[in-house]
Amino acid sequence: MSTGDGIHGACAPEFARVRTVFENNFARGLETGAAITVYLGDEPVVELWGGTADRRIGRPWERDTPCLAFSCTKAITAAAALRVAERGGHDLKAPVGDWWPEFTAAGKGRTTGEDLLAHRAGLPAFARPVGAREAVDPAAMATLLAEQAPLWEPGSAHGYHALTYGWLAGEIVRRLDGRTVGEYVADEFAGPLGLDLWVGAPDGVIQRAARLAPGSSGSGASRPAPASSPSADNPVARMNRDVADPDSLLSRAMNRPEVASLPGGYDNPVVLSAGWPAAGVVTTASGLAGFYRDLLAGRIVSPATLRDAVVPRSHGPDRVLGIDSAFGLGFMRPSLAFALPRAAQQTAFGHTGAGGSIGLADLEREVAIGYVMNQTGAELSGGIRAMRLVKAVYDCLG
C-alpha cells in the first residue's frame, strides 16, 4: 500500500500517529530515504518505508532495502556475547584474563567481561591511528587493545567505547566460541530467525544497500541530540566541540579506525563487508525491529539473562562523551545520551546509531522498534526524527 506522498507499507489503525510523524519527517525535508517497523509482541503493527535509497541514480527505497545502522550494532554484538556466555556457562563477572591471557598486560588484570560490555574497560580509543583496511582483521584489532594501557582503572568509571567496543566485546564471542561476531550472528540467530541483518554484509546486500546521503556525520559513534541552549557551558555544546577537535578523546574514539580517506567513506565495501562489531551492521528496519522482538520473546537469550543485561552497570558522567550516559551489558538505558519519552524511561532499552537510527524494545509493553535512514544528521542519540517516532509509538500505546 502506498500514499500519494511516496510512503509505502502498512500501519494498524491504532498506530496511525506513527505514519503521520513518519510522513512529516519527509515533508519537512528531514529524510532522503527511511524505514520504520514496530512489533507489538510478534505482530507487526507498523511497517513503513519511503524516499530514495541512492540519490545518485534515483533508486527508490524498497521494503527490503538494507542500510548501515552504525552503533545499533553494539546491541547485536552484546546479544551474541550474552548468548555465548549463557550457553557455555561462562561467568562474565570473572576476569577477562581467564580466557584472554594477553589482555592482562598493562594493568588490566582485574578487567571483567562485564567491564567490556558496559564501556568500563578504559580503552575507548586506539592509542595510535588505525586504517580501515587494517580493521578488517578482528584478531589484529584485539591484539592492539590487549597490549594497550587503559586510560582509567577498568571497572572504576565508564566512557563510550565508540569503535573499540566491538573488538573488546567481540572477543567474548571469538575466543569462547571460535566464530567472529558476524559469523555467530548469521549462524545462531539472524539466519535461523529470518532476520535481514548482517554484521559483515555479502556482496549482494552491499549492492542493494542504501547509500548515505551527502552531509552525513560519517562516524561510527552516535552523537547526542543538539542542546536546547547554545551556551558554551552546555555539556552537549562542549561535546560537539570535542567532536571537531582531532586531538580530543571523543574524536579519537570516533575516528580510529579512520574511514574518511576511503572512497565513499562508510559506503565503501571494505567497511560494509568487514562487519565492524561496534558499527558495521547492515539491516532493514524490519530486521532491526525483529532482533528486538526476538530478544523479548526469549529466542536469542533467556528472559532472565535479558533482564539482568538491561540493569545499568554504568551510569552518570561519561568520560568520553562528557555527558551522562547509562549502559547495561551492551544496551543503552535512558539518559541524556539516550533520550526517550517519559513513558519509555523505566522499561525501555536499545541502542542508537550515528545520525539517527535506533533499535529499541520495552520489557513491559512488549514493543520493539527499528528505524533506519540514510540522511544522517549530527545527532548522537537518535535525534529528533527518531525521538518523534518513538514518542508516537508510545502515544499510540496509551
The per-residue pLDDT for 382 is: 55
For the segment 296-308, the average pLDDT, to the nearest whole number, is: 98
C-alpha to C-alpha distance for 357 and 386, rounded to whole angstroms: 7
Residue with cell 582503572: 153
Cα dist. 292→132, 216, 297, 348 in Å? 29, 26, 9, 11
The per-residue pLDDT for 231 is: 52
pLDDT over threshold 90, residue 237: no
The per-residue pLDDT for 4 is: 45
- To the question of pTM greater than 0.85 for the whole model, the response is yes
C-alpha to C-alpha distance for 359 and 116, rounded to whole angstroms: 21
The per-residue pLDDT for 380 is: 53
The per-residue pLDDT for 246 is: 87
C-alpha to C-alpha distance for 220 and 201, rounded to whole angstroms: 16
Mean pLDDT of the chain: 93
pLDDT over threshold 90, residue 377: no
For the segment 218-242, the average pLDDT, to the nearest whole number, is: 55
**Structure confidence by residue, pLDDT tens digits, 49-97:** 999 999 999 999 999 999 999 999 999 999 999 999 999 999 999 999 9
The per-residue pLDDT for 18 is: 98
pLDDT over threshold 80, residue 299: yes
pLDDT over threshold 60, residue 219: no
The per-residue pLDDT for 320 is: 97
**Structure confidence by residue, pLDDT tens digits, 176-210:** 999 999 999 999 999 999 999 999 999 999 999 99
pLDDT category of residue 214 using cuts at 50, 70 and 90: low
pLDDT over threshold 70, residue 346: yes
Bridge partners, residue 67, by sequence: 283
The per-residue pLDDT for 226 is: 43
pLDDT category of residue 228 using cuts at 50, 70 and 90: very low
**All domains of the chain, ordered by start, with CATH?**
7-397 (3.40.710.10)
The per-residue pLDDT for 240 is: 72
**Structure confidence by residue, pLDDT tens digits, 69-82:** 999 999 999 999 99
C-alpha to C-alpha distance for 32 and 29, rounded to whole angstroms: 8
pLDDT over threshold 80, residue 307: yes
- What are the residue ranges of helices labelled H in 28-109? 73-88
Question: H or E segment at 358?
Answer: strand 358-362
